[in-house]
Amino acid sequence: MAKIILTGDRPTGRLHIGHYVGSLRRRVELQNSGQYDKIFVMIADAQALTDNADNPGKVRQNISEVALDYLAAGLDPAKTTIFVQSYVPELTELSFYYMNLVTVQRLQRNPTVKSEIKMRGFSETEDGAEGKAGTPVGFFCYPISQAADITAFKATTVPVGEDQEPMIEQTREIVRKFNGTYAPVLVEPEILLPDNAACLRLPGTDGKAKMSKSLGNCIYLADDAETVKAKVKGMYTDPLHLQVSDPGHIEGNTVFTYLDAFCRDEHFEKFADCFVGRKASFSFKNLDEVKAQYRAGGLGDMMVKNFLAAVLEDTLGPIRERRAQYAQDIPAVMEMLRKGSDEARKVAAATLADVKHAMAIDYFG
Ligand code: TRP
């Protein structure tokens, strides 16, 4: 069976380093591994509209922003089909048929939907009674549309963050139900989670569980070097580490979580200067040694933060430069998306034809 990847992002803002370590970096590795027959990366504008119906302008503006983030991170349109969800209307049609295979009760139990409804204030009570805004039906059904996204491309592998696990489970259920009810034409996908715990869910710079635009605790791929440095300087560390000589804690210390996600052994030689100070100097070979010293006391937050800033810049600098280059020709970026969408549409149309045939609703041959 062909190995096929599909994944995507909602274009509600520029992508940040949480997206990068949680999925983008992996996608680029998978793309370059040569182990996959087809890779599709989708800008999920229709899904973004399910909770932004009043703000299509924001979604529109972020189509090119997200595309720039993709290209800057190293996705290559020659190897990966990058496309826009709403330009593949077959996905909407598939969703409509899948809606009959899922119950309202099952959707209500979907943990991601549940917590997102709560987060957005759509319902104010545990039992889901209508809140200030109420839950848009389209939003409530987005797991079904996500199943359409995945199955339309017969994806075997979906690289996403762990918050998307319930979506993949819901997709697998729909596939089993469809194949059992009609004919085995759909493929059950596997989730591919980040392999490093720090990357599963990168906390915000303030130490809060999630990096998110609404919390204002993000480092963006488009941030300039000075901005990144300032954000690192202001980062949450260990509130008990008051004096440099105090023993420090690694657990829940965001600076170390970011180092877990970004730092490689080569960085210790490259940025050895960061650990040379007026009062104390250290020579570390790897992150474990830094952690041991921090725990023992004597290693100050500023030194570790300077090192983190250098490590981040080592990854983000080249991404930022590529982003600026692509940003000089937005029409070319849009043309790339149009081509990708045409290509994606052909694949989705073939699956839709299979689906209609399996359901015996292909009345006219
Ligand atoms: N729900 C995903 C997110 O919020 C975006 C998405 C839409 C997606 N369709 C998908 C991800 C299909 C993987 C597969 O980021």
Ligand 1 pocket, 158 CB below 6 A? yes
Q: Mutate which of 6, 7, 193, 212 to test ligand 1's pocket (most atoms within 8 Å of Cβ)?
A: 7
Ligand 1 pocket, 149 CB below 6 A? yes
Q: What was the pLDDT predicted at 23?
A: 85
Ligand 1, atom 13, residue with closest C-alpha: 7
Ligand 1 pocket, 45 CB below 6 A? no
Q: What is the pLDDT of residues 47-104, one digit of tens each?
A: 999 999 999 999 999 999 999 999 999 999 999 999 999 999 999 999 999 999 999 9
Q: What was the pLDDT predicted at 279?
A: 85
Q: What is the pLDDT of residues 238-288, one digit of tens each?
A: 998 888 999 999 999 999 999 999 999 999 999 999 999 988 899 999 999
Ligand 1 pocket, 9 CB below 6 A? yes
Prediction pTM value: 0.92
Pick the more confident residue, 337 or 216.
337
Ligand 1 centroid–CA 83 distance in Å is 13
Pick the more confident residue, 119 or 355.
355
Mean pLDDT of the region 327-354:
98
Q: What is the pLDDT of residues 89-143, one digit of tens each?
A: 999 999 999 999 999 999 999 999 999 998 888 886 656 666 667 899 999 999 9
Ligand 1 pocket, 85 CB below 6 A? no
The mean pLDDT value of the chain amounts to 94
- The 3-state secondary structure of the chain reads CCCEEEEEECCCCCCEHHHHHHHHHHHHHHHHHCCCCEEEEEECHHHHHCCCCCCHHHHHHHHHHHHHHHHHHCCCCCCCEEEEHHHCCHHHHHHHHHHHHCCHHHHHHCHHHHHHHHHCCCECCCCCCECCCCCCHHHHCHHHHHHHHHHHCCCCEEECCHHHHHHHHHHHHHHHHHHHHCCCCCCCCEEECCCCHHHHCCCCCCCCCCCCHHHCCCCECCCCHHHHHHHHHCCCCCCCCCCCCCCCCCCCCHHHHHHHHHCCCHHHHHCHHHHECCCCECCCCCHHHHHHHHHHCCCCHHHHHHHHHHHHHHHHHHHHHHHHHHHCCHHHHHHHHHHHHHHHHHHHHHHHHHHHHHCCCCCCC
